[in-house]
A and B are shown apart, each in its own frame.
Chain A
Amino acid sequence: MTKRISAGRRLVTTSILLLGLAANSVLAQTKAPFTFGVALPTTGAAAPFGLDQVQALEWAVADINAKGGANGRKLNAVILDTQARPQVGIDVVTRLVSVEKVPLVITAFSAVVAAVAPIVNRNNVLTFVIGANSPRIATMGDYVYTTYPLADVDVTLLAKYARTEMKKSNAAVLYLNDESGVYGARVFRENFEKLGGRIVAYESYEPNSTDYTGAILKIRASNPEIVHLQGNAGDSPQAIAQLRQLGIKVPITSYTAAYNPQMVKQLGTQADGLIVASLAPGVADLPSVASYVERWKKEKGREPNNVPVTQYVHDGAYVIKALVEHLDKTNTPLTGENLRKALLELKSFKLPLTEDVTINENHTVFKPVYLLEVKGGAFVPIRVFK
């Protein structure tokens, strides 16, 4: 009797479980995908970087979807090209907001972010800025958040490193005359001077130019002990090449925009003395990063341009997954407002390639800074500042 009851119970339980699983599966299949926008440069000077960031994101989305999506809801990215130009960025984000009706956008490049911020704020579209570093990004509105540390983190550290560790008493700053360059350069200048250093030249170049001779000649005339470069991913290699070409052999510090193994390959030992601040763990720091870089080598035959930023963009998909799952738990509509609320509720995320990230109240994030230096024509890790 007991045996019969037990068998019957098992049958009923199994049936219920199977039914539940089937229902869950049907529900998962019927859940509408979550579509978000991506506004990154896929043509133009920054295309080599934007394309790699898009690739990283596509892999992350594919991996998430292959494992069932965000609690059964597939992620779907609408990717549009900004050329890293503010005007194009405005057109692209307007289309994402008005035509594609996305509640969330991923974008980068400080000048583009400054241009599109009013649009996303007005339309309550949650925006993740990943890779741009102008300190002003933290104050660009309620819907603009960064998952990537701003210049206050890495550029401040570079200024301190140059002054206190390298004992440089004077420095020259070469910066791109746009949102990212102007404000990033200011961070370096203020911090270097605060520590008793002297800025002997503070020169800029225009976004639409490729010849920086004038600014570099002035830097040469000021005879600095170190040069800080605050450019973009697209122009930094040219700036470094022209600095070296005009006989400036002193160390050059720069942020992650200059973390470009391809450029170092082109410049060879001329790039020696370039010190860059990376904001993501490297191959030696995290096994998942090693696998990720291996994947690049296997599938693309090379390392990605600006590896750290691609790691952050990759992980952006996992932040979105977490937000969608959080809202789906309570059947809350996936609107920009609700996604923002979810972001503020969750705050901290454990991410595969960039580890723990916490979104601060003031729209900033703090992460360890990994310093690398080009020695013998290759990037070599020199220090981690936690």
Chain B
Amino acid sequence: MFDRGILLQVLWTSIAAASFQVLLTIAFALVLKVTKIWNFAQPALMGVAFYTLFVAVNWVGAPIPAAILIAFLVTAAFGFAIERFAFQTLRERGSESITFFIFTLIFAQLVIYVLTLAFTTEPVFLFANMMSPTTLVGGVVVSAWDVSSIIVAVVLTLALLVFLRYTRLGQYMIAVADNADLAEAYGISKRQSYAAAMVIAALFITAAMYLFGSKLAVFPELTLHMMIFAVVATILGGIDRIFPAALAAVGISLLQQLSVLVIDSRWQPLIVFSVLFVAIIFFPRGIRLPARRVVGDGRTGVGTAEAT
């Protein structure tokens, strides 16, 4: 039953389906790494991004690049406003992390209610045409959506990697993520890094929602379900580690899709929650590769190097 063709199809579809999950996971992990906030308000940003795209494409009739730009600007402004007016206020008050947690959760729910009032609970597609052109490659159905999604996810991920490693702002953000007070002592603005993290997250969220909405239907509450995947991948990848979290997203997607070959598909949603359960209990700091032994010269003793 499970011949090579089917396995290849499942693998390809899983990787393609992981593309938007990777982007959403990176957005979540980046904000967590830089601001140390579990941003459960992300579904609100996802909803804002999608419905701005929807309005721009279907009501205003804007060309796709313009619609994406508008959606990014709106989502970025929204993200910036959350950072500036909510997170910053809570920080200045010296609020506990539970306060941030409650605020983000309630804020997401509030925005979802508003979006539901405005757009109803009806699932909508970004485009009238639900189908993407397909080609058969060695017995595997490859759609244009699959290819473009993978390309977008890879390009954006690499761009972020380059940005964080080689640009001044990116290095500042890493410095703030490592030790915000120390970074500030060196003249790096914490606020700027926090805001930058929210704006970059908005870019990833907009791209993810564009990809999702151009293939599957969206309704406001769906964004809450979608975020769970990002949270699980972030925990599994190791909190504070953006790119391993992205890899974890691909891994969970593969696990989820491959699972249908051995279990009934109705149990499939359970996979994500099972992974979350296992990750929290057994891998609270994420799955890390075994530490490499660094054999010293006898004077320095034995050291370890963390594989990230």
Contact = CB atoms under 8 A, between A and B. Distances in A.
Nearest to A200: B1
A209 B228 CA distance: 13
A215 interface: yes
Interface of B: 1-2, 6, 9-10, 13, 17, 120-123, 128-132, 134, 136, 141, 143, 216-219, 221-222, 225, 256-257, 259-261, 264-266, 268-269
Interface centre among A214, A221, A267 (most CB of B within 10 A): A214
B132 to A, nearest CB: 7
A218 B260 contact: yes
Contacts of B1: 221-222
Interface centre among B13, B122, B269 (most CB of A within 10 A): B122
B120 A213 contact: no
Interface centre among B131, B134, B143 (most CB of A within 10 A): B131
A47 B265 contact: no
A37 to B, nearest CB: 21
A180 to B, nearest CB: 15
Contacts of B216: 210-211, 238
Contacts of A203: 260, 264-266
Interface centre among B9, B219, B268 (most CB of A within 10 A): B268
Interface stretch (A131-139, A244-252, A348-356): A244-252
13 contacts: A44-B122, A45-B122, A47-B121, A48-B122, A217-B13, A217-B257, A218-B260, A221-B260, A221-B261, A237-B130, A238-B123, A238-B217, A245-B141
Interface residues of A, number: 35
A270 B121 CA distance: 27
A266 B130 contact: yes
Given A208-B222, A245-B130, 14 more contacts: A44-B121, A44-B122, A204-B265, A205-B266, A208-B225, A209-B222, A213-B17, A213-B257, A215-B265, A221-B261, A222-B1, A234-B122, A244-B131, A245-B141
A214 B9 contact: no
A214 B217 contact: no
A220 interface: yes
Contacts of B9: 217, 220-221, 246-247
Contacts of B10: 217, 221
A205 B260 CA distance: 12
A338 interface: no
B265 to A, nearest CB: 4
A14 interface: no
B30 to A, nearest CB: 24
A177 B13 CA distance: 23
Nearest to A83: B121
B131 A241 contact: yes
B125 to A, nearest CB: 9
B217 A210 contact: yes
A44 B120 contact: yes
A270 B222 CA distance: 27
Nearest to B217: A210
Contacts of A237: 130
Given A204-B266, A213-B257, A220-B6, A245 B121 contact: no
Contacts of A221: 1-2, 6, 9-10, 260-261
Interface in A30-74: 43-45, 47-48
Nearest to B1: A221
